[in-house]
Amino acid sequence: MSESTPITTDSNTSEVLNSVATTEEAKAIANRGAKTRQLLGMKGAAPGETSIWKIRLQLMKPITWIPLMWGVICGAASSGEYTWTLENVFKAAVCMLLSGPLMAGYVQILNDYYDREIDAINEPYRPIPSGAISVPQVITQIWVLLIAGIALAFTLDKWAGNEFPTITTIAFIGAFVGYIYSAPPLKLKQNGWLGSYALGASYITFPWCTGHALFGELDWKIVVLTLIYSLAGLGIAIVNDFKSVEGDRKLGLQSLPVMFGVTTAAWICVVMIDVFQTAIAAYLIYIHENLYAAILILLIIPQITFQDMYFLRDPLKNDVKYQASAQPFLVLGMLVAGLAIGHAGI
């Protein structure tokens, strides 16, 4: 009588079960990651969210609030008047609420509203093209955020004791720029240069000047300096255009990657980022803040390294990876510049 060959063994069964469990765990982790990206308004999200409040939050793209909230901190530093009191901390937090969730949220939803046809091509999982939220609901949310933002800006002016409503004025200007950036007939984003600079100014100039006006007196020097810094922000704004190049090309939007091609636009992007940060460092030397200038230059070096490692080699594939690795050094450089200006009493 011959021996029969076993079909499997306990060891093999265990390996198969472990493999299945590992696969299911990996799927669960990937699903949680997709839901997180969706909630933050990031690229690569997964459709299927049903909670209206999570959908509304996704529309506001919380991931984009961070640079504006950081800009408030830089403005407080450049004022030279910020002190670590409980009132000032609370005041700064309220100002971050204004710049981030309210005004940035307003601009992001406005942009999604007017870009719903482009998003149907590039990011069909977004709330509006996917049908997860109705257009009337979107319009209502836009108005609620705008009115709340203007009201809070006026409150901050009163709290700061500003004779002229500087913060309210900045909020109105920022809201207007956000509107003409996305909405026809101007739709600045159709022009690669104007659109990218408007975006750069929105991320740097407006929140920086708001933070400065909250704790000090805003003058033309700070405005000019932040507008120059926004030229570096223009480079960061160009990075965001690479993910939409296919849809932009189909719909005739003249983003820089569409106008100049992916490779040339990538070089324009990194040159803008590096040159204008270096110009700020040179200005810090001019006002005799040499230590801060040296720190800023040291923060530019890793940005250049990551540009070579990731962005210039494949901007379409590595745009998010580049931003995650290089932008922390850029925003730290902004704070260094703000501290230097506050220290110099400009």
Q: Does position 346 have pLDDT exceeding 60, yes or no?
A: yes
Cα 32 from Cα 289, distance rounded (Å): 46
Alpha-carbon distance of 181 to 113, in angstroms, equals 12
- Within-domain flag for 41: no
Task: Give me the domain span that covers residue 188.
Answer: 50-218
Confidence of residue 248 (pLDDT cuts 50, 70, 90): confident
pLDDT of residue 46: 55
Residue 285 included in any domain: yes
Contacts of 36 (CB under 8 A, 6+ apart): none
Could you tell me if residue 9 is inside a domain? Answer: no
**Amino acid identity for residue 157 in this structure:** D
Phi, then psi, of 82 in degrees rounded to 5: -75, 130
**What is the DSSP code string of 97-109?**
HIIIIIIIHHHHH
Beta-bridge mates of residue 254: 191
Is 231 domain-assigned? Answer: yes
SS3 content of the chain, % helix, strand, coil (to 5): 80, 0, 20
Let me know whether 202 and 292 are in one domain: no
Contact predicate 232/333, CB 8 Å:
no
Q: Which of 91-100, 147-156, 180-189, 211-220 shows the lowest mean pLDDT across its residues?
A: 180-189
Spatial neighbors of 328 by CB under 8 A, at least 6 apart, are: none
Residues 80-96 have a mean pLDDT of 97
Q: What pLDDT does residue 136 have?
A: 96
Q: 66 with 179, same domain? A: yes
- Predicted confidence at residue 21, as pLDDT, reads 54
| Whether residue 207 is found in the same domain as residue 301 | no
Mean pLDDT of the chain: 87
Flag the least confident range among 55-64, 142-151, 184-193, 300-309: 184-193
Mean pLDDT, rounded, for 74-86: 96
Render pLDDT for 43-72 as a digit per residue (tens, 0 to 9).
555 556 678 999 999 999 998 898 899 999
Please report, for the chain, how many H helices and E strands are present, in that order: 17, 0
Q: Are residues 162 and 259 in the same domain?
A: no
Domain membership of residue 70 (yes or no) is yes
Q: Are residues 186 and 153 in the same domain?
A: yes
3-state secondary structure of 254: strand
By the 8 A CB rule, do 71 and 206 touch? yes
Same domain for 267 and 205? no
Q: Could you tell me the CATH number of the domain that includes residue 59?
A: 1.10.357
40 is a domain residue: no
Q: Are 149 and 175 in contact (CB under 8 A)?
A: yes
How many domains does the chain fold into?
A: 2
Report if residue 143 sits inside a domain: yes
Coil/strand/helix, residue 78: helix
Cβ of 203: how many Cβ atoms within 10 Å? 26
Indicate the range of 117-121, 311-315, 320-324, 330-334 predicted with least confidence. Answer: 117-121
For residue 2, is pLDDT > 50?
no
In a domain, 205, yes or no: yes
Comparing CA positions, the residue from 217, 215, 200 lying closest to residue 82 is 215
CB 94 within 8 A of CB 226: no
Mean pLDDT of 211-225: 96
